[in-house]
Amino acid sequence: SAVISQKPSRDICQRGTSLTIQCQVDSQVTMMFWYRQQPGQSLTLIATANQGSEATYESGFVIDKFPISRPNLTFSTLTVSNMSPEDSSIYLCSVGRDGASTDTQYFGPGTRLTVL
Amino acid sequence: GENVEQHPSTLSVQEGDSAVIKCTYSDSASNYFPWYKQELGKRPQLIIDIRSNVGEKKDQRIAVTLNKTAKHFSLHITETQPEDSAVYFCAASMYSGGGADGLTFGKGTHLIIQP
């Protein structure tokens, strides 16, 4: 499976500010996804980020709040804008494999965000 | 959209016994069903998956079964060990050939293995 890294691993931010989370993969992948995991909860898909096209957002998530970039096949960023304490979560990127079994997804280590 | 229900939310079994976690999904177009294990403070790890053209898949002590008609799938862990203690998530998605959709997750099962 691909090696996936995220930066930062954790951060504590003040409300009203923004944080950009980076996701780096050691190989080229077509499909990248961003998820949120609120404390003690399951994972919820925020958006799908494919290189060369606009990100596709799930119901309840909007581009103004969670802008996403996907400049190449190994990198993506998610920005959490105008943060409030409700945004405190773990944010995870995942990648789908290219070639066979493209439906399989592997997760990055996550970014633990606390908003005060 | 897809909705995935997962039961039970907590499961406690004696070491060496079997554990079964069940999930149902709502969208008959879903065709890919992975299971993830998440230990405290760590990322979800894929442990097994099944596609809709298969009814059962096994990998050592772990097996998954799929009933497309009833739209439910289950995770079976035999001969449980302390290291199996974790939160397990089922998920569903639809793969259309042009690329996978994102995953819809169940709420998770906290599996506790009692020594």
pLDDT digits (tens, 9 = 90+) for B55-107: 999 999 999 999 999 999 999 999 999 999 999 999 999 877 666 689 999 99
Q: What is the pLDDT of residues A78-96, one digit of tens each?
A: 999 999 999 999 999 999 8
Q: Name chain A contacts of B45, Cβ cutoff 8 Å.
A: 107
Question: Could you tell me which residues come within 8 angstroms of residue A78 by beta carbon, excluding any fewer than 6 positions away?
Answer: A20, A21, A23, A34, A46, A47, A66, A67, A68, A91, A93
Contact: A48, B101; criterion CB under 8 Å: yes
- Report the alpha-carbon distance of residue A1 to residue B77 in Å, rounded: 23
Chain B closest CA to A48's CA: distance in Å? 7
CA-based nearest residue to A26, from A72, A78, A90, A77: A72
* Pair B38, B91: CB distance under 8 Å: no
Angstrom distance (rounded) from CA B77 to CA A91: 29
Given a contact cutoff of 8 angstroms between Cβ atoms, the answer to whether A53 and A30 are in contact is: no
Residues of B in contact with A42 (CB under 8 A): 89, 105-108
Q: Chain A to chain B, count of Cβ pairs less than 8 Å apart?
A: 59
CA distance B40 to chain A (A): 10
